[in-house]
Amino acid sequence: MSKRQSRNKASAVPKSVWNNPSAEAAAVTPAPQRSQSEYPTPSEAIANLSLQSEATTSTRSKTTGPSNRRILHSVVPDSAVLTPIHRPDQGGKAGQPVQIYTNHFRVSIDDAIVNQYNIEISMVRRDGKLTAARKNERWETLQQLAKREKNFPIVWYDEGSNLYTRELLTDFTKPLRVNLNIDDEEKVFEFKVLNLVRQEKIRDIFDFITGRTSIRPRDPIRIIETLFKQSVRNDLVCIRNKFYSRRQKLVDLNDGRGMASGFHQALCLTRGGPTLNVNLTFACFYLPLNFVDFSCKYLRKDITREISPSEVEGIKQLFKNLPIETIHAGRPLRYRVRGFGRPPNQLTFDRRSDNKSAAAAGSSDDDNTVAKVTTTVADYFAQKYKPLRYPHLPCVDARKGSEPNAHWLPMEVVKIVEWERALKPLDSVQRALVSKTTIIKPDKRYDDIIKIVQQRNFQSDPFLKALNIKVDAREMLQINARILPPPEVKYRGKGNTEVAEHVAVGKWAIRNRFYHSPVINKWGILYFGPKPQNQIISILQEFESQLPQLSSQSGVVFSSKPTTMAKPPRQDEIENAMKTAVNQGWQLAIVVLNDVPNEVYECVKQLGNQQLGLPTQCVSFQALERNSGKLRMYVQNLSQKINAKIGGINGVVNLKAALSHSSNEDLFMFFGIDVTHTTSSTTLPSIAAVVASCDPTCSRYVARLCEQYPPKGRCSIEIIKELDKMVIDLLQVFSRTCGNRLPNRLVFYRDGVDDGQFQKVLDNEVDKIKHACRAVYGKAQLPRLTFIIVKKGHHTRFFTYDGQYTKNIEPGTVIDQDITHPSQFDFYLCSQAAIMGTSRPALYHVLHDENGFNSDDIQQLTYWICHTDARCTKSVSIPAPVHYAHLAARAARMLDFHDANDRIEEAEGDDLVDQENFTLEDIKTKVMLLNDKIQNNMWFV
């Protein structure tokens, strides 16, 4: 049967658990009442928590830090006062029913008990002592034992110290040794069973699916996912749930890194039973180059001839903790780069004159009678191995752990470890290079996933047979979905009447004026770049004349001619030009940037948003050049950002109409929350952004941001420490702009939270929001709160098939059956039309709800609010408040938090703080303060 024929016969996911051994006996626990808890009034009211009251126009940021630290067992302890709510119904009914495909495959699993053993695999040295074996050596040892020992059971191994099997290893209590040929050298390895750790019940998976328990069975899931990895370890690189072929040629990124393609594979516990989620994935790895060659590519300079002291200082930061291995002798030894020292021809050490135990590491000798000679690292390698080619390059310090003395290795005798992940973000050129590979159309993604699943050959996998696991690899799951109706977006027509634009396939046209647009009486154009020649002047003049004319069609009125200035892109010139603009009373500065470094853009934003209070709209000269003679569409898009920044409203969506029950007296306030981290650094702070609507139409938003500094060298946490203060300030802004009225309904969309952090978010952030409301509302009735997690970083994709072609699903497609959580309130929603590649839906998880929303309410509301983004006339992929929070956090990276008179000081003993024991009080914060004229506008769009 062909693939297309098989699709027509594919059936929807069954409602009952597929091949569940306990399905008939399991009784589904009734869903508890939705979370509506209220906190008692605190004995002490929260006072002076407004960020607004701390703001001054001259102060850029304010530091807050702990005074006395209290050490607890967890930085963010769980209290479980609140729990994620259950689904309020059987799913939504609104919209057009459709059937679609998803990249999940049915899985059948036997009920069984799996034994988890703690084991140890070591290499036996020539002196008989044991030393730790490498990952590949441990795996090879197990494979050889399985072949040699006749009664050795089927086992699966997690590459660490855990071994799983259905059998009891009572016959293998004594250590076993095997001989392996490693790098053309015979080595002896010892396998030892230490103890039986626990016995896991696979039945826990089905108890979770059927609702007999609400605790997700993480250990059984880990055991089964480990089992799925066993048969591919020799051919694929396994990084958690991602797999990459060792035989592929990486896409060279021209900086010592390469991009590999692979697939993601994970076991999911869904309403329809266990499934295997498979998707394409891509990752960057360091190329296994000699360290000298790698440095040349990474620095994009030939350092073999010359390297300056400043470049040496630079590579100290760039290459710290980079994994390397030796290539000059025998068995490769692996290290991590700890630092750099003097060149081998300058670096000296004392070595024994008998040459029996010399090493390039500075080491002490208890025997003071042994004669020693001083030699250079270069001379040592020349005598013991071969002369160095680059004795002028710095040595690598490869000391291990807390060793007091350096272990010096010349750069040319080490290479980068193969298949080591590289986390540094790609630049714009590299993103364009890899986009040809990573942007995949839905038909190709579908075919590639089916090909991967069929090549896995699950039915003949001996390891899967241990638990009688079967995967239906013939076809992706066919599931039920619905296409929600889009909203109408209201603008202003003739006579200032409301005119509705209809949404079609996720987008609409502006044929009328913006809903509200302030008049711009004083404005100007600033040009920073090369000295304008005739061609540049001509393009600037066209833009100067066309901008007011074309913007007026959308309702943005420039009532005066602009003042224009052209300056070189130097900081002093930028400051003088923008100060002149402020002194002249400009309401808006259009800043044209022509081939300037990013620092110029950052300088403009720092001056405009923080120091001077001047709204700025930056424009790329190259964009003006490309659109010369056809500026209409470009100016229309630009005018949407301009209108939002000066306090206007582009279009309005009646969000109350999305709800089944609402009152004209209801006053909604929508929040978006995001925390951004720097993936390649533990020293840079995280930035927490909270954005909230501040008008009755929920069209205008304001943002509050703060930096979070973890203890030195520690990874940042996701919880927002100052959330209560930020919410209080935003509620006060809402009250001021809405005639001293406060909202009675709050809806929070929270981005960037993993499943394992749901409870911590409930216990801490929802708690802080409730205390903030107590402080602002006092004895008045508190608002009803809904808190929703938004996730884009998942691997579920959806496809439609019209009998001939595989396509993307339509905007508004919602999925709340079959592959969603067995009991909790979650759903997938694809709100955007894919421009290129395969559309990625957002996964929404309602953690807390006091508004009594049903499935249709929250799904329709979420879809409609995706049509309120001020930057475009399209439905965006996530709700506008969350998108704004992401934009604000990204824009805040270039703002000046770091005042020399107000810097974060490391608390005494930070180096000694245990990562498991530091608390929220150890997290230092720095509030970002903008100019009073800017901070309550939409400066971030």
- What is the set of domains in the chain, with CATH numbers? 52-86+651-899+917-928 (3.30.420.10), 291-416 (2.170.260.10), 517-645 (3.40.50.2300)
Buried b (16+ CB within 10 A) or exposed e, 312-337: beebeeebeebbbbbebeeebbebbb
Percent of the chain with pLDDT over 90: 67
Half-sphere exposure of 182 (CA within 13 A, CB side): 21
pLDDT surpasses 90 at 350: no
Lowest mean pLDDT of 18-22, 784-788, 924-928, name the range.
Answer: 18-22
Neighbours of 177 (CB within 10 A): 13
Give the pLDDT band of residue 53 (cuts 50, 70, 90): very low
On whether the CB atoms of residues 559 and 551 are closer than 8 A, the answer is no
Among 136-140, 290-294, 353-357, 640-644, which is the least confidently predicted range? 353-357
User: Residue 184: its pLDDT value, please?
Assistant: 73
**What pLDDT score was predicted for residue 711?**
65
Which range, of 628-642, 767-781, 897-911, averages the lowest pLDDT? Answer: 897-911
Contacts of 317 (CB under 8 A, 6+ apart): none
**Residue 270: CA count within 13 A, CB half-sphere:** 30
Using alpha carbons, select from 820, 903, 890, 912 the residue that is nearest to residue 271: 820
Confidence of residue 67 (pLDDT cuts 50, 70, 90): very low
Burial string for 465-487 (b: 16+ CB within 10 Å, else e) reads: ebbebbbbbbbbbbbebbbbebb
Mean residue pLDDT of the chain comes to 86
Q: Which helix (H) or strand (E) holds 736?
A: helix 723-737
**Which residue, 795, 797, 802, 798, is CA-closest to 7?**
802
Q: Which amino acid is at 194?
A: L
For residues 372 and 158, the model is more confident at 158
pTM of the model: 0.87
